[in-house]
Structure 1
Amino acid sequence: MPLGRHFDAVRLAATTVHEVADDTRPHLVRAALGVFQLCGPVIRTPRAYYVLVPPGTAGGAWSDAGDGADCLGDGNYLGVPGPGDHPAVGCQWLVEPDGTGRDLTSPDAVRAFLGAARRREGAPA
């Protein structure tokens, strides 16, 4: 699906998400994302999570944020699973869209999540 019209997507490395969640199991990752208000649609792949954010985010304030996550917009495409698709491997919904188109995650919530990830990286093991 082409990005930039209905939504943009922030690509988060799976290792980063799993570090903050302290787990890899989908229900616990979903709960951890919810703590940071990442409650909109999220697509999960083996290597990354794609948080759907409002269109224009990629070309707006995100472009110079230096947050260590890619925001993809116009000119990019994202494989989007159908509603209810839950394949064993590959692209699947971690958080399904509600169908209204108004449930996109705030870029500020994604930045808060990334801030927590940076703090965890700097914490003693």
Structure 2
Amino acid sequence: MERERIGDLYLYNKEVFLSVALLTKVRDEVDAVAVSNGRRYGLDAAVFGNDMTRVRRVIRQLEVGAVYVNDYPRHGIGYFPFGGRKGSGVAREGIGYTIEYVTAYKTVMYNYRGKGVWEYL
């Protein structure tokens, strides 16, 4: 299917959260990246290959929140922070980001001049 017609596919235009695969023929990795980046969503992607130079080039160009190399997505608490780009969310998720999100930072400065606090220096 030509790239122009891929955009007409229903699942290409949706962010589907279930096990489904949309398969389409592409000419090369440049075409594959263009198809992927043409979507309004960018949660994650999986790249399979043995040529790590090509894999790293594709990783740099993909507009997604996470890229899995020779593996499938593993979301959830306890693994690592994850999140999308574009229409796939506005932040990162995971225990560390959750703690940061509910924490309020405050800077407090004391003047200990004349109190003998620094006498050990």
TM-score (norm 1): 0.26
* Bigger RCO of structures 1 and 2 (CA < 8 A, at least 6 apart): 1
Write 1 or 2 for the structure with the bigger share of strand.
1
TM-score (norm 2): 0.27
Bigger Rg, which one: 2
